[in-house]
Structure 1
Amino acid sequence: MKPIRALHVIDSLGRGGAEQMLVTLLPALAKQGCTAQVAVLRPPYDLQPMLESHGIHVHRLTASSKWNLPRRARAIARIARKADADIIHAHLYFPAITVALLRLMRLHRARTFVSFHNLAYAGANKAGLGLWAKRQIARVLYPLGIDQTLAVSQAVAQHYRAALGLKTPKILYNPVEIPPLPDPHPARTLFRVVVPGRLVHEKGHQDLIQALTLLKTPIEMVFAGGGPLQEILSETAPDVRITGPLSHAQMQQEIQSADLVVLPSRYEGFGLTAAEAMALGRPVLATTAGGLPEVLGDAGRLVPVQDAPALAAALDALLQDDAERQRLGAAGRLRAQTCFATPAIAARLVGFYHEAHRKEPR
């Protein structure tokens, strides 16, 4: 079977879920006979060194307005020709509409893919004319310029089908590495609860702070990550330790240190940190936002979104039940191995690529 050459296009290489997914997935694709390069539309480039350490070439596009779509489409087409790409695979909004336009302008004959990572039109983004316009542009461009749509969860697939009138995307879960189990924690006086993720509205940190006022069990609470809400959360909850921005390795260390990992999200396309916590054998408590129920299955505890009393009650119950935390940790690791292990996810994507490549171009 002919090796596939893929060019992945992404908005930036900052420390986000979609960006980290590329760092995990692309080296695994190479082991499956699919070479990959990455085109990045704008800074930051935090994760570029990690990609390059795996031999993955990263192309930085020259600065231009994000709405100068024809110029960006031509730039990506030049990179695709140089890479002799069979597949151009976009991630997130501006890369996706740019790649769709590239196809409509007939700048390259590669098959075009887009991965949907979030719930863009469900309330996580500010409503208004701008979001409406972006939605209408996507409704026009995606059916005409994208050969295959993918979604990181059934929740995301149904969201984009409803929001944009698309055929239901195929599901490609985010991949996670399955590391050796960490050593048991040393004895400590307080339970450590870790909330991994960016400090942004959609992650629901404010709801957890409200739940803490109802909690009966003394705990050490850690918000692992940074973001625009860091200052206000520090003022609102001075007893919570906020780490600030972390590398992926540092985030893994924080998750490993937890007695319980909590995701109080209001919106969540997949829940990569939940899957990573499960892979590390950590018990997870999360809300029913978006793709989280699909990620956790029966291997985690779920509570309704923005329900502080339910969150506090579940926290108390789990922290007082050592056996249940151990059961959830073991079940979560097994589910991560079964559903999200990187080699299997990479093989599934390579299969999608070959399926698309066998079809005649439009």
Structure 2
Amino acid sequence: MTQLHTVQVLGGGSAGSSAHVRSLAAGLVARGVRVTVCAPVELDQAYDFLGAGAHFVPVPRRGDPVAIGTLRGACAGADVVHAHGLHASVRAGLALGPQRVPLVVTWHTRTHAEGARGRLLRLMERRTVRAAAVVLGTSSELVDRARRRGARDARLGPVSVPAPHAGTTESEAGKARAELGAMDRPLLVAVGALEPHRGYGTLLDASRLWLRHDPVPLVAVAGEGRQRPALQRRIDAEGLPVRLLGRRHDVTALLAAADVALLPSRWEARAPLAQEALRLGVPLVATAVGGVPELVGDAAELVPYGDAGALAGAVTALLTDPGRRAALAVAGRRQAATWPTEDETIAQVLSVYDELCAGPRARTP
């Protein structure tokens, strides 16, 4: 009996896909699978794939021949290659070439583009899903999209982010509030890269309306990105009650400290912020886009994307209604209990590998 060897490929690596690969690597190694993770070196520094028991091969983000050659060498002898995201899938397909190694692709999210770039992205999607033996979509919408692009086998593969650590105590949440100067005012928290599709322009529009609230809520945004200078200029010029916190390693404590969590994105599948907020029992106001309604059910307040008035109104209504916030906290934890666990997610992926490799391999419990 031989040991199954899988190569996990990450490109840029969003927080959700990187956390999933870390969880998947640890779970597969525990089951006796040999795992190699190919990703930019900074992702191993952030997610410690080596600490999960995986072999790590640094592959730069660029897609030049040197990077593809490194990836090709790492995939040599693999039983299954599993690429996460569109760009990782393209690179994995180029690296595999004519090798008869099954390629599994997970779509964690979708990329937005118009015009010529949009046509190129659609072409890349068609090529990658047609090269894949199985495409796993983290939401029903992504599964349907893969099928429209010509996937031979597209399945729902919900990704469960690791549950918040039990060590997030009330004292840690209180410390986070004190650090932000929000002991005597509502705290609203958003998490995510400062990129156009995250909807932070709309969030700033809404924050102007919250200036009428007494006391004025503080909006704390954890994340970094190219929009930071423009957002900060606007915050300063308009005197908005918003703090850009940059990258944070205490996101769970920040969310636990929040009165309301905010997700104003243009599109999301299984947003890590939404999962963590509901598990913590923090009321969530999110845009009704992509896989969000499917993920949260009736356990969050949903608003249209780009509607600052609706976003501001939903938050204000929650801040003035403790009963509704308490009901959402209960509903959130109940909804989170319906999601697949990490073990179930790993078991589903492993069953796909076994299927593609024509039968189960010997594994330790």
Per the normalisation by structure 1, the TM-score is 0.85
Alignment partner, residue 133 of structure 1:
120
- Counting aligned pairs with the same residue, the percent is 25
Matches within 5 A, 1:125-274: 125=113, 127-143=114-130, 145-162=131-148, 164-167=149-152, 169-178=154-163, 179-180=165-166, 182-184=168-170, 186=174, 188-215=183-210, 216-217=212-213, 218-238=216-236, 239-247=241-249, 250-274=250-274
The answer to whether the Cα contact below 8 Å between 1:32 and 1:346 also exists between their aligned partners in 2 is no
Q: Which stretches in structure 1 are left out of the alignment for 5+ residues?
A: none
SS in 1 for 2:49: helix
* Superposition deviation, residue 181 in structure 1: 7.6
Change (3 A) 1:312 1:48: closer
| CA shift digits 1:257-295 (9 cap, x unpaired) | 211101011122321211122222222110012111111
Change (3 A) 1:48 1:306: closer
The answer to whether the Cα contact below 8 Å between 1:88 and 1:113 also exists between their aligned partners in 2 is yes
Question: Structure 1: which amino acid aligns with 2:116?
Answer: L
Alignment partner, residue 119 of structure 1:
110
Question: Structure 2: which amino acid aligns with 1:225?
Answer: G
The answer to whether the Cα contact below 8 Å between 2:221 and 2:243 also exists between their aligned partners in 1 is yes
Alignment partner, residue 180 of structure 2:
none
SS in 2 for 1:149: strand
Change (3 A) 1:320 1:268: same
Change (3 A) 1:47 1:335: farther
The answer to whether the Cα contact below 8 Å between 2:63 and 2:91 also exists between their aligned partners in 1 is no
* Superposition deviation, residue 240 in structure 1: 0.8
CA distance, structure 1, for counterparts of residue 233 and residue 92 of structure 2:
43
SS in 2 for 1:339: coil
Question: Structure 2: which amino acid aligns with 1:242?
Answer: L
Tell which deviates more after alignment, 145-154 or 347-356: 347-356
Change (3 A) 1:5 1:327: farther
The answer to whether the Cα contact below 8 Å between 2:279 and 2:336 also exists between their aligned partners in 1 is yes
Matches within 5 A, 1:1-362: 4-12=4-12, 16-40=15-39, 42=40, 44-45=42-43, 47=45, 50-61=48-59, 66=63, 68=65, 74-81=69-76, 84-103=77-96, 105-107=97-99, 109-120=100-111, 124-125=112-113, 127-143=114-130, 145-162=131-148, 164-167=149-152, 169-178=154-163, 179-180=165-166, 182-184=168-170, 186=174, 188-215=183-210, 216-217=212-213, 218-238=216-236, 239-247=241-249, 250-358=250-358
* Superposition deviation, residue 141 in structure 1: 4.7
* Superposition deviation, residue 129 in structure 1: 2.3
The answer to whether the Cα contact below 8 Å between 1:85 and 1:110 also exists between their aligned partners in 2 is yes
Change (3 A) 1:241 1:65: closer
CA distance, structure 2, for counterparts of residue 210 and residue 20 of structure 1:
31
* Superposition deviation, residue 149 in structure 1: 0.5
| CA shift digits 1:58-109 (9 cap, x unpaired) | 1023x696154xx65554332123xx42210011223212333445x323x3
CA distance, structure 1, for counterparts of residue 89 and residue 192 of structure 2:
24
CA distance, structure 2, for counterparts of residue 65 and residue 26 of structure 1:
23
The answer to whether the Cα contact below 8 Å between 1:300 and 1:332 also exists between their aligned partners in 2 is yes
The answer to whether the Cα contact below 8 Å between 1:176 and 1:340 also exists between their aligned partners in 2 is no
CA distance, structure 1, for counterparts of residue 15 and residue 136 of structure 2:
18
Alpha-carbon RMSD across the aligned residues, in angstroms, is: 2.6
* Superposition deviation, residue 12 in structure 1: 3.9
CA distance, structure 2, for counterparts of residue 223 and residue 322 of structure 1:
23
CA distance, structure 2, for counterparts of residue 106 and residue 46 of structure 1:
29
The answer to whether the Cα contact below 8 Å between 2:19 and 2:47 also exists between their aligned partners in 1 is no
CA distance, structure 2, for counterparts of residue 213 and residue 197 of structure 1:
21
Question: Structure 2: which amino acid aligns with 1:237?
Answer: I
The answer to whether the Cα contact below 8 Å between 2:206 and 2:311 also exists between their aligned partners in 1 is yes
CA distance, structure 2, for counterparts of residue 169 and residue 207 of structure 1:
34
CA distance, structure 2, for counterparts of residue 64 and residue 205 of structure 1:
26
CA distance, structure 1, for counterparts of residue 319 and residue 44 of structure 2:
36
Question: Structure 1: which amino acid aligns with 2:150?
Answer: G
The answer to whether the Cα contact below 8 Å between 1:101 and 1:141 also exists between their aligned partners in 2 is no
Change (3 A) 1:64 1:227: closer
* Superposition deviation, residue 202 in structure 1: 0.6
Question: Structure 2: which amino acid aligns with 1:153?
Answer: S
Per the normalisation by structure 2, the TM-score is 0.84
